[in-house]
Amino acid sequence: MKRKPFLTSGKIPLLLYISIFASAVAFVSAFFSTLAYDIRAKWMYDLEVRHHLDLLAVRVASQLANPMAMGDRAVIESILNNQVAKDFTVNNAMIILEDGSVYYELAESDGSKRNHVSGRSQGEIVARRPIEFKSGLAYGAVVATEKTGELILISEKKYMFERERVGNVAAFAAGLSDSVAEAAEAGDFLRAREMIENMTRSDSNIIYTQMLRDDGTVLLNSERGGSETRARALEGQIKCDEICAKALEVSPRKPVAIQSIAGPDGEPALDIATPVMRRGNRIAILRTGYSLKDLIAERRRTKLLIAAMTFIFIVIGGIISVLMAARISYPIRHMSKVAKRIGEGELDQAVDVRSGGRETFELGQAFNQMIAGLKERQFIKDTFSRYVTSQVAEQLLKNPESVALGGVKHEVTVLFSDIRGFTELSEKLSPEEVVSQLNEYFSEMVDVIFKYEGTLDKFVGDAIMAVFGAPFKRPDDPERAVRTAVEMQDRLRKLNARWISEGRNPLGIGIGINTGDAIAGNIGDIRRMEYTVIGYNVNMASRMENLTKKYSIQIIISDNTYQKVRDIVKVNRMDPVDIKGSPVPVQVYEVVGLV
């Protein structure tokens, strides 16, 4: 006996392989996308660290120049402790003399910063950057301090921070205020300007710096890339807008105010205000404008990179999916062709599935079983066309056990409606006009019956018979019937308004409703049967409808129906009437509306 191939024997779930493979592809895609983002984000963070160290080194080095020249180690230590040791991005700071010896090291003076430099000590010759650390390569920022040595700020690689740049710029602005405090107190704004320009020269994102007096007077104004004459023309003037007013609120208790503004090119930017303090008093306010254009551009490039990589992986996954789909497409195409022929009524079909995995194999077997079932059930479709309307047929197909096709006694609510004077009207119109108007009318009325889940029993000329409670019974069938009648009259009023506007004749209808037991079953001949309800109470509903003509009213219901819907309807109680088939007068009610 010839063995079937392992993967096509129908015993191995090929879709399981596909699922596992697709999951693996998705995992790899997600992994590499995340990895790419992580690498890019870390690279951006490293740039931010370098940028911050450059700014900090320039500012601190300018303060160290005089103490270094005088050899005042106490002042040097104080500056480094106040300006550097509190900065969380800095792990160590060293001053290296021209001969390469370590003149001062923060890690040797501050216990919290120890053990970052491996085997170093003061006076030892050290190599220039990069400096090796136990925890890995760190970054150093170097700046000359009037030929007396170099200041090196060292930061190890750390975790990323979402708002690193804003914090760094705010810290820089605060340090800038401290640096110019002495010159501002002395009124030496020329020196303050020179210090500010020297300290901000290395950062192209700084748009402007402005020193203000408490009343908003501009003491010093420097603009990047603008006219120096125009910038200095503002000095001595009070030019204070809403942003400026907020900036004037900074104090020792509120040491920084950061506001969003638009840069020169309309790009997002920040206005950062810090107080210039001297001996505990605020002597001025320093404003720094900082553009976020470079940071936003870098973020945009990162997002584009991630999007591009994601797109590439999606394309790869799509190609793989197409190849895998081709593996199982043949049996599916084969079954699709067979299904099409079955849909055309050719039931003498069968599918032959020998590949595609266990699931496809089982699908083929189920398909063949379905074909056999369709052959056995074909006669049911023919029977349905004789027995019931499409609405009832649909219910029977969904739940065939819920309906007995023999005669069964049900409590039902029967609704009859009839058009008033339609015979006379039809004589005045052409056949086309009669059919057109009648079809419009029937369409609206049947729509209402189906809305309340009634069964459309039959059309008798221009009359409609609807049943609520057969073949499926609901506890509120009488209420559904009454609501149907009221809405039928409402719909007809709207139709009449449109017909009148079109120059056509309006219609009027009368509706009769009765509730009671009736026989529901199949009436007719073997060649043509109809599912309907018959009996005394059905006839009573028809006679209720006839009463509407006699009394010229729209809706009449019997006492049986009224007792079941009395809480939801407004009625006019009428005198009992003699009705054919009833031994006693029958109490009836005119429905005038719903509660």
Identify whether residues 412 and 559 lie together within a single domain: yes
Instruction: Calculate mean pLDDT across residues 512-535.
Output: 83
Residue 298 lies in a domain: no
Instruction: Calculate mean pLDDT across residues 134-140.
Output: 40
Confidence of residue 328 (pLDDT cuts 50, 70, 90): low
Amino acid 13 reads P
CA 199, CA 224: separation in Å to the nearest integer?
13
> Three-state SS across 371-400?
HHHHHHHHHHHHHHHHHCCHHHHHHHHHCH
Assess whether pLDDT exceeds 50 at residue 5.
Answer: no
* Token duo for residue 330: 């043949």
Assess whether pLDDT exceeds 80 at residue 41.
Answer: no
Identify whether residues 287 and 422 lie together within a single domain: no
Of 487 and 354, which is predicted with more confidence?
A: 487
Identify whether residues 538 and 413 lie together within a single domain: yes
β-pairing verdict for 509-525 and 555-558: parallel
The per-residue pLDDT for 413 is 97
Confidence of residue 388 (pLDDT cuts 50, 70, 90): very low
What CATH number is associated with residue 265?
3.30.450.20
Instruction: Count the domains in the chain.
Output: 2
E strand or H helix at 362, and its extent?
A: helix 357-387
Q: Which of 241, 271, 291 is the last residue of a domain?
A: 291
The per-residue pLDDT for 128 is 38
Highest mean pLDDT among 124-133, 291-300, 317-326: 291-300
Average pLDDT, the chain: 76
Identify whether residues 276 and 419 lie together within a single domain: no
For residue 141, give the nearest of 209, 203, 73 by alpha carbon: 203
The per-residue pLDDT for 115 is 32
Instruction: Calculate mean pLDDT across residues 352-378.
Output: 68
Beta bridge partners of 154: 92, 140
Assess whether pLDDT exceeds 60 at residue 129.
Answer: no
CA 118, CA 138: separation in Å to the nearest integer?
12
The per-residue pLDDT for 303 is 74
**Worst-scoring range by mean pLDDT, 61-75, 349-363, 381-395, 440-454?**
381-395
427, 399 Cβ separation under 8 angstroms: no
The per-residue pLDDT for 141 is 46
Q: Does residue 407 sit in helix, strand or coil?
A: coil
Q: What is the pLDDT of residues 255-270, one digit of tens each?
A: 777 788 888 888 888 8
Residue 145 lies in a domain: no
Assess whether pLDDT exceeds 50 at residue 181.
Answer: yes
The per-residue pLDDT for 555 is 96
Residue 422 lies in a domain: yes
Identify whether residues 543 and 416 lie together within a single domain: yes
Helices (H), 112-188: 164-179, 181-185
Residues ≥6 apart with Cβ < 8 Å to 415:
449, 454, 464, 465, 466, 467, 468, 481, 484, 485, 511, 512, 513, 541
Residue 441 lies in a domain: yes
Residue 103 lies in a domain: no
The per-residue pLDDT for 139 is 45
Instruction: Calculate mean pLDDT across residues 215-233.
Output: 76
Assess whether pLDDT exceeds 70 at residue 146.
Answer: no
Q: Long-range contact list for 459-466, CB < 8 A, 24+ apart?
A: 462/418, 462/419, 462/422, 462/438, 463/416, 463/417, 463/418, 463/419, 463/545, 464/415, 464/416, 464/417, 464/418, 465/414, 465/415, 465/416, 466/414, 466/415, 466/417
What CATH number is associated with residue 450?
3.30.70.1230
Residue 393 lies in a domain: no
* Token duo for residue 139: 């970054």
What percent of the chain has a predicted confidence (pLDDT) above 90? 21
Q: Which of 260, 291, 322 is the last residue of a domain?
A: 291
**Worst-scoring range by mean pLDDT, 261-265, 306-310, 418-422, 482-486?**
306-310
E strand or H helix at 446, and its extent?
A: helix 431-451
Q: Does residue 238 sit in helix, strand or coil?
A: strand
Confidence of residue 317 (pLDDT cuts 50, 70, 90): low
Q: In terms of C-beta density within 10 A (0-12 exposed, 13-18 middle, 19 or more buried), how is residue 38 classed?
A: exposed
Residue with tokens 């480094």: 80
Residue 213 lies in a domain: yes
Instruction: Calculate mean pLDDT across residues 226-232.
Output: 66
Is the previous residue joined to 471 through a cis bond, with omega within 30 degrees of 0? yes
Residue 415 lies in a domain: yes
The per-residue pLDDT for 251 is 76
Residue with tokens 């009839």: 418
328, 356 Cβ separation under 8 angstroms: yes
The per-residue pLDDT for 263 is 82
The per-residue pLDDT for 7 is 43
**Worst-scoring range by mean pLDDT, 89-103, 239-253, 351-365?**
351-365
Of 27 and 195, which is predicted with more confidence?
A: 195
Confidence of residue 120 (pLDDT cuts 50, 70, 90): very low
* Token duo for residue 326: 């081709």
Q: Which domain holds residue 185?
A: 165-291
Assess whether pLDDT exceeds 60 at residue 118.
Answer: no
Identify whether residues 285 and 418 lie together within a single domain: no
Of 186 and 537, which is predicted with more confidence?
A: 537
The per-residue pLDDT for 10 is 44
Assess whether pLDDT exceeds 50 at residue 42.
Answer: yes
Assess whether pLDDT exceeds 60 at residue 553.
Answer: yes
- What is 550-569 written as a DSSP string? HHT-SEEEEHHHHHHHTTTE
Q: Which of 234, 259, 291 is the last residue of a domain?
A: 291
Number of neighbouring beta carbons within 10 Å of residue 163: 8
506, 496 Cβ separation under 8 angstroms: yes
* Token duo for residue 26: 């998705």
